[in-house]
Amino acid sequence: MVRFVTKEKLSYLYDELENSGIDILYLTDWEENRNVNVKYLSGIPEDANLFIDVQNQQTVLIPRDFQLAEEYAEADQLINTAEFEGGVDPATSETLKQISSSHPKIGVLKEIPYHRVKTILDQVPDAEIVFNPKKIDTLLNSLRATKSSYEIALLKKSIKISNQLVDEIEDLLTTENEIKSEIDLAIFVETQMRRLGAQGIGFETMVASSARSWQIHTYPRVDPELPLCRPGLALIDFGVDAEGYTSDVTLPFVMGIMNKKMKTIVETVQQAHDEAIDALKDNHFLHDVAEVAFNIIEAAGFKMPHGLGHGIGLTVHDSPFIRRKSTNELSLKNWVDIELEEGMVFTVEPGIYEKDVGGFRLENDIIITTKGAEVVTNSHPIFIGLS
């Protein structure tokens, strides 16, 4: 495997860090402080320190598992911690001393633990620590907001499995089956996705009957006691991780005969979903697309308590985010209009949540290509008759 960032984007990162006055960017990815950018910039699956050496335009990776890094990672320097007494920390300290110039400016993100910052100052006492998380985070997020053809190919493996699961869930729930509770469906989906080739779940699967689906992100994610098939609106929200990149789909269910309110909710969400996707053809800014969905839902007398969608990739909530433009004066000071770009991959997921009938969210994944918006998942409402 190779790192996911392209050479062009890596070169852009060097230039932007140099313009910000940063000599070395120090990133860490450990169990206590996961940072997906280490994986994005090096390809290492987990557990490593990474230096972005701006002056020498090179990446230096210090992994816990050297053999794993040899198999999966790509870096200009790959440090074997076995050559240092004490392992990762001494290897990191010595490497930092070797690549540091006089009075280096070392950029760190907010996730980095204090003890790692202190180690820098102990080893390179003339270093200046640049705490600039917002600017650096924004820069790294902008790199991940568009996907290369390699990344999209990996994503499509997850999407293919997701679509197979959507079909299997529909077949299962519309026929006599052993799925009785929320947890039964979660177990079926998570087991089947692995049989279909997934490495694992993209995030914790959420299944909610009409008793709990009014919660945006249902808690508990799955209730082992609650029956799934009860009158009202229900859903399953799941993601498939096939090659490190995750899909994200919400499949809504209508259980039994709809009353007037349920019918209005289903029709409104479907309209908001379809017209928002249509709006991708004619709008340059993502907040304008979000506005289409919000207006439809509000015109029907409901509220949508979350954004219209979000990017997917190495994380389930990647850049970009599809939100309504804020009218709050303080929020507008930091607002940045996000233009549609080729290579963006994101969800469109309007939803309405009412405690008396349940929640209804319809979520599909979209890829922006040279030809426009391509809907690559096949989530749709499933109508289940109850005897």
pLDDT at 336: 87
Last residue of a domain, one of 144, 174, 201: 144
Helix (H, G, I), strand (E, B) or coil at 26: strand
Rounded to whole angstroms, what are the CA distances from 279 to 151, 273, 275, 320? 25, 10, 6, 17
Residue 187 lies in a domain: yes
Looking at the structure, tell me whether residues 154 and 140 fall in a common domain.
Answer: no
Looking at the structure, tell me whether residues 115 and 197 fall in a common domain.
Answer: no
Instruction: Please state the pTM of the whole predicted model.
Output: 0.94
Looking at the structure, tell me whether residues 119 and 168 fall in a common domain.
Answer: no
Residues contacting 334, CB < 8 A, separation 6+? none
What's at 138, amino acid-wise? Answer: T
93: alpha, beta or left? (left if phi > 0; alpha if psi -120 to 50) = alpha
pLDDT at 173: 93
Closest CA to 234 of 259, 266, 203, 204: 266
What is d(CA 317, CA 157) in angstroms, rounded to the nearest whole number? 18
Residue 348 lies in a domain: yes
**Which 8-state DSSP code applies to residue 311?**
E
Looking at the structure, tell me whether residues 353 and 221 fall in a common domain.
Answer: yes
* Interstrand relation of 382-384 and 249-255 (parallel, antiparallel or unpaired): parallel
Looking at the structure, tell me whether residues 46 and 87 fall in a common domain.
Answer: yes
Looking at the structure, tell me whether residues 189 and 51 fall in a common domain.
Answer: no
- Look up residue 176 and give its two tokens: 């006599």
CATH number at residue 284: 3.90.230.10
Looking at the structure, tell me whether residues 19 and 69 fall in a common domain.
Answer: yes
Looking at the structure, tell me whether residues 129 and 154 fall in a common domain.
Answer: no
What is d(CA 355, CA 322) in angstroms, rounded to the nearest whole number? 26
Radius of gyration of the chain (CA): 23
Looking at the structure, tell me whether residues 140 and 159 fall in a common domain.
Answer: no
Looking at the structure, tell me whether residues 181 and 284 fall in a common domain.
Answer: yes
Number of compact structural domains in the chain? 2
Residue 264 lies in a domain: yes
Looking at the structure, tell me whether residues 214 and 185 fall in a common domain.
Answer: yes
| Exposed/middle/buried for residue 195 (C-beta within 10 Å: 0-12, 13-18, 19+) | exposed
pLDDT at 1: 59
Residue 1 lies in a domain: no
Last residue of a domain, one of 144, 161, 176: 144
- DSSP string for 315-327: SSSEEEEE-PPP-
Residue 25 lies in a domain: yes
Helix (H, G, I), strand (E, B) or coil at 100: coil
Q: b/e string for 223-257 if b means 16 or more Cβ within 10 A?
A: beebebbebbbbbbbbbbbbbbbbbbbbbbbbbbe
Last residue of a domain, one of 111, 144, 177: 144
- The beta-strand segments (E) located in 178-322 are 200-201, 206-208, 232-238, 240-241, 249-255, 309-311, 318-322
Residue 2 lies in a domain: no
What's at 51, amino acid-wise? Answer: F
pLDDT at 117: 86
CATH number at residue 74: 3.40.350.10
Residue 307 lies in a domain: yes
Q: 78 lies in which domain range?
A: 7-144
Looking at the structure, tell me whether residues 100 and 215 fall in a common domain.
Answer: no
pLDDT at 334: 80
What string of pLDDT tens digits covers the 387 residues of the chain?
589 999 999 999 999 999 999 999 999 999 988 999 999 999 999 999 999 999 999 999 999 999 999 999 999 999 999 999 888 989 998 999 999 988 999 999 888 888 888 888 888 889 999 988 788 999 999 999 999 999 999 999 999 999 999 999 999 999 978 899 999 999 999 999 999 999 999 999 999 999 999 999 999 999 999 999 999 999 999 999 999 999 999 999 999 999 999 999 999 999 999 999 999 998 789 999 999 999 999 999 999 999 999 999 999 999 999 999 988 888 888 888 999 999 999 999 999 999 999 999 999 999 999 999 999 999 999 999 986
**Which 8-state DSSP code applies to residue 230?**
S
Helix (H, G, I), strand (E, B) or coil at 30: strand
pLDDT at 190: 98
Residue 176 lies in a domain: yes
Tell me the sheet residues that pair with 309. 322
